[in-house]
Amino acid sequence: MSSFRDDVYRMYDRAVSFLALPPGLSERIKTCSVLLHMKIPVRVEGDVRLFDAYRAQHSFHRKPVKGGIRFDAAVTADEVVALATLMTFKCALVNVPFGGAKGGVRIDPRAESADTLERVTRRYTAELFWRNCIGPGVDVPAPDMGTGPREMAWIADTYATLNPADIDPLACVTGKPVTQGGIRGRNEATGRGVQYGLREFFRVPADVKGCGLDGGLEGKRVIVQGLGNVGYHAAKFLQEEDGCRIVGIIERDGALWNDDGLSVEAIAQHIRAKKTVRGFTGAKLVERGADVLTSPCDILLPAATEGQITNGNADAIQARLVVEAANGPTTAEASDTLTRRGIAILPDLYINAGGVTVSYFEWSKNLAHMRFGRMSRRIDQQRRGQMMRAIEDMTSSRFTPEQWATVAQGAGEIDHVRSGLDDTMCEALAEVREARDRYKVPDLRTASFIVAIQKVVTSNLELGLWP
Ligand code: NAD
């Protein structure tokens, strides 16, 4: 069986075969530059435990490098290299000026106390710092599976303590709580990006028809795997704002099913309280959750982890559109099988890029030391008000209170973030569609890699090699 990294390389090689690259450049761009494997000692209740911890820095064609930190019992070097590689091409695809990186600690966060997690996070940060592997201009981590705003706040605080003279310490990590230098909309950003990307996909009827669907998102039956940060937000927005029917939710310990639709919010609350999907009323429990991946639906949205759609189940997938909210949920072989069967894939490289996009906004905000909209919102609001009053005077008509409340508003931070994210997702898909048509490739994954590789190639050629 091929590894996650082999699969990413295979997808990369496929895209490169459409491009005439100078000798040696393809290998250089594909290969991960730095792989750090540390054994980090952490004092836990009087004892000292050693944890395997990694940081992979894939490409320095742009600096800083950037990528999440995963806390999971199954973290391996192979996995962080695969994820760092995807990050390089994801950033290039959505025009976020970073190289790719990824980190991980082999730890099961659900089995550890908050105190242990804090000690591990802070020690990991210190170990990265001692090796010059963290900093606003060097390497900027973010959340991934098993980590969130809490861990990012610990990282920022540890880095700031180790760098008392630095005026930009908050820019050393993104995904922080808003009260600790984070940005509004970052926590939901990956799910929000999935929603914007899907909306954009459905704006081109030929693409929708091409995979055997029709119409818009309204009423589409969706199965979501993994109700964590990404899956929860994507499912919630699609259900509440686009009229999708979430018929299946797959978690580690089983799946919930209801043909009439599940309440994402009610299930999320149940999981938060009980730490399991079991015991939720109003849905059928399926003991072997993974079986639900092949249940009938229009859209399958894997948002858990890699290697979920393989050659073992790709032939049985009934969805017409697979939306890779997770990284690497489909193996390279399974991806080919789905494409052969006319099932469209919105690839991870594109569809889950909302997280790093808003991380870029957060990093920029931290370096500017000011929230977006702070200097423009009030003047924006005044000018819009003047314009609306002038229209009322000229037409002798009156805007409704609702129109005043929406149209006259100046743009605050969350408006800037959503606008920037929406624009990013739309522009990137336009580039991907253009590459698909120009190079006549059958799938959006290869087209996404082509767009991204071309940008990394240009950057490498312009910079040359020194010393
Ligand atoms: P998370 O830890 O918040 O949530 C993961 C969820 O998946 C959890 O509810 C977990 O119980 C569930 N899960 C794990 N393994 C499962 C399995 N085998 N079957 C069913 N459910 C399973 O993690 P997250 O941040 O939401 O990340 C999920 C995926 O999205 C990962 O692949 C990650 O790399 C990717 N991603 C995350 C971000 C981000 O901003 N957090 C950005 C881009 C991509």
Q: Give me the DSSP letters along 193-222.
A: HHHHHHHHHHT-HHHHHHTT--S-STT-EE
Cα of 238 from ligand 1 centre, angstroms = 17
The model's pTM: 0.97
Helix axes 332-340, 4-16, angle to 10 degrees: 50
Cα of 345 from ligand 1 centre, angstroms = 18
Task: Give the total residue count for the chain.
Answer: 467
Q: What is the pLDDT of residue 23?
A: 87
Smallest Cα–Cα separation from 16: which of 434, 350, 450, 432?
Answer: 450
Ligand 1 close to Cβ of residue 446 (< 6 A): no
Indicate the DSSP class of residue 411: P
Q: How many other CB atoms are found less than 10 A from the CB of residue 331?
A: 25
Residue 15: in which H helix or E strand, if any? helix 4-16
Contact 192, 185 (CB under 8 A): yes
321 — phi, psi (to 5°)? -140, 125
How far apart are alpha carbons 295 and 293 in whole angstroms?
6
Ligand 1 close to Cβ of residue 303 (< 6 A): yes
Instruction: Tell me the pLDDT of the chain (467 aa) as tens digits.
Output: 789 999 999 999 999 999 999 989 999 999 999 999 999 999 999 999 999 999 999 999 999 999 999 999 999 999 999 999 999 999 999 999 999 999 999 999 999 999 999 999 999 999 999 999 999 999 999 999 999 999 999 999 999 999 999 999 999 999 999 999 999 999 999 999 999 999 999 999 999 999 999 999 999 999 999 999 999 999 999 999 999 999 999 999 999 999 999 999 999 999 999 999 999 998 999 999 999 999 999 999 999 999 999 999 999 999 999 999 999 999 999 999 999 999 999 999 999 999 999 999 999 999 999 999 999 999 999 999 999 999 999 999 999 999 999 899 999 999 999 999 999 999 999 999 999 999 999 999 999 999 999 999 999 999 999 99
Which residue's CA is minimally distant from atom 19 of ligand 1? 252
> Which residues are tagged catalytic?
102
Cα of 21 from ligand 1 centre, angstroms = 35
Ligand 1 close to Cβ of residue 352 (< 6 A): yes
How far apart are alpha carbons 157 and 163 in whole angstroms?
10
Which residue's CA is minimally distant from atom 5 of ligand 1? 228
Helix axes 413-439, 354-368, angle to 10 degrees: 130
Q: What is the pLDDT of residue 418?
A: 98
458-464: Cβ within 8 A, 24+ apart = 459/61, 459/62, 460/25, 460/28, 460/29, 460/61, 461/22, 461/25, 463/61
